[in-house]
Amino acid sequence: MSSWMSTLLVIQQQIIRYVYSLYLIFGITGCCLNIILFSQRQFRTVSCCTYFLASSVAMIMNLVFGIGPHMYTLNHADPITTIPTFCKMRIYLIQVVALTYRWSLTAACLDRYALSSTNTRLRKLAKVNVARRIVGTIVIVWVILPVHTLIFYNLRAGACGIFYNTTAALFHGIFTTMASCVLPASIMFTCALLIRQNLALKRQRHQLTKKRDQVKHKNRTRDQQVLVMLFMQYSNVGR
């Protein structure tokens, strides 16, 4: 049994050393490239890019707080399972940045829906100044709501979690599931359907407008032909 445990421990360490390292390197590099791209002048005037910029910053922090401590444990004692304050702060910060990342993307979907809408009031929401206010609100909300993790997370038998309050553990489970998965996924899916519907309506209106223009063009051509014929008939009568 001990040989199997030692083998699994070695495999886990190798996964952390190589797989997590690649994930951390490529993830941070990709997010940095996104930040550079969306910080360009031509993208700073697009409201959706504001949400993408915020989500990229949050994702970098999520990678650092989520994977960084595991990399540290390769050569040092695991602070997650040995330092209560680190246990609390890591979970709290991961929740803050992960929820900020997900809800920034959710806001980006809502932004695209507003822009594709035929309602002028909704289209006015797809602006950079509105996007910046919404991003600030998202950050403030998710800094406040996960604060229960700082209170109820503790260490027990070398594990970090909520062990001494079943009500808090149940609340945390429901909160995490709804806030980080169910609600943003549902909103994104609904926005995708609504955007598709709006684009279909715009295509129909464009086709109707095009047909009307074609009819008007035909009528205009016909009227011109009739007018020419009238002038010809008038000239013949004059003769």
**Contacts of residue 1, Cβ cutoff 8 Å, sequence gap at least 6:** none
Which pLDDT score, from 0 to 100, does residue 233 have?
46
Residues 131/144/179/154 CA torsion (nearest 10 deg): 150
Which pLDDT score, from 0 to 100, does residue 231 have?
47
Fold category of 2-238 in CATH: Rhopdopsin 7-helix transmembrane proteins (1.20.1070)
CA separation for the pair 136, 134 (Å, rounded): 5
Which pLDDT score, from 0 to 100, does residue 19 have?
80
**Contacts of residue 66, Cβ cutoff 8 Å, sequence gap at least 6:** 94
- Averaged over successive runs of 10 residues, the pLDDT of the chain (239 residues) comes to 64 74 89 91 89 94 88 80 89 95 94 87 90 96 95 87 90 94 94 88 71 57 46 48
Angstrom CA distances, 139 to 30, 101, 104, 198, stand at: 22, 9, 9, 30
Supply φ then ψ for residue 222, to 5 degrees. -65, -40
And the tokens for 217? 């063009």
Q: Where are the domains of the chain?
A: 2-238
DSSP 8-state symbol, 155 = E
Torsion sign (Cα): 103, 105, 106, 110: positive
pTM score, whole prediction? 0.80
DSSP 8-state symbol, 180 = I
Which pLDDT score, from 0 to 100, does residue 237 have?
45
R_g of the chain, CA atoms, integer Å: 30
Q: Please list the alpha-helical segments (H only) found in the chain.
A: 2-14, 21-38, 41-44, 47-72, 84-116, 120-123, 128-144, 148-152, 166-177, 183-238
**Which DSSP string corresponds to 116-148?**
H-S-HHHHTTSSHHHHHHHHHHHHHHHHHGGGH
Q: Chain-centre distance of CA 74, in angstroms?
A: 32
Which pLDDT score, from 0 to 100, does residue 151 have?
92
Which pLDDT score, from 0 to 100, does residue 228 have?
47
Q: Do the beta carbons of residue 144 and residue 152 sit within 8 Å?
A: no
